[in-house]
């Protein structure tokens, strides 16, 4: 995203810049971004109000680093379809078919990764309807 600094000069904000401001949660935020980029080849984060993965916008991220450090993760699946979210604050997103997780501790990362992985395979959006859904892994026997 382009914005202007205090002198009015355009600068580009990168997601890594916001991750660096996350203090004790910077490694947690970085791990989430790295994982999403690894599974979503051909897509990357663009900044609007939140960091939106484009063109396959199955996930959005928001980093709060001013008063309370929080990583908010919005995913394209309803809350009731997510795997166990015990220990993680979770609610519906802006739309009924979206869910949102709020991470405040690194210990919440394993549960968040289970939800993110589920959302990667089961989110539905216009891009996926046009270009195909990710191939789901076969269950181990």
CA distances 80 to 88, 93, 120, Å, are: 14, 12, 16
Give me the DSSP letters along the chain: -EEE-TTS-EEE--HHHHHHTTGGGHHHHHHHHHHHHHHSTT-EEEESSSEEEESS-SEEEEEE-SSS-EEEEEESS-GGGSS--TTSEEEE-SSTT-EEEEE-SGGGHHHHHHHHHHHHHH---HHHHHH-PPPPPPPP-
Residue 7 covered by a domain: yes
Q: How many domains does the chain have?
A: 1
pLDDT tens sequence across 55-93: 999 999 999 998 889 999 999 999 999 998 889 999 987
pLDDT at res. 95:
73
Residue range(s) defining the domain that contains residue 12 = 2-123
pLDDT at res. 34:
97
| CATH number of the domain that residue 14 is part of | 3.90.1150
Residue 130 covered by a domain: no
pLDDT tens sequence across 7-16: 677 767 899 9
Confidence of residue 94 (pLDDT cuts 50, 70, 90): confident
Residue 133 covered by a domain: no
pLDDT at res. 97:
86
Confidence of residue 138 (pLDDT cuts 50, 70, 90): confident
Whose tokens are 């080849």? That residue is 41
Residue 135 covered by a domain: no
Residue 81 covered by a domain: yes
């Amino acid at each position: 995203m382009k914005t202007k600094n205090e002198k009015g000069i355009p600068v580009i904000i990168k997601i890594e810049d916001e991750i660096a401001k996350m203090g004790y949660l910077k490694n947690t935020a970085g791990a989430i971004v790295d994982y999403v980029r690894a599974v979503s080849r051909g897509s990357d984060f663009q900044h609007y109000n939140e960091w939106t993965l484009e063109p396959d916008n199955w996930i959005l991220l928001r980093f709060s680093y001013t008063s309370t450090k929080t990583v908010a993760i919005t995913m394209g699946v309803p809350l009731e379809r997510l795997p166990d979210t015990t220990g993680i604050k979770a609610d519906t997103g802006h739309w009924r078919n979206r869910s949102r997780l709020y991470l405040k501790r690194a210990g919440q990362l394993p549960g968040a990764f289970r939800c993110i992985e589920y959302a990667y395979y089961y989110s539905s959006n216009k891009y996926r309807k046009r270009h195909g859904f990710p191939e789901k892994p076969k269950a181990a026997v």
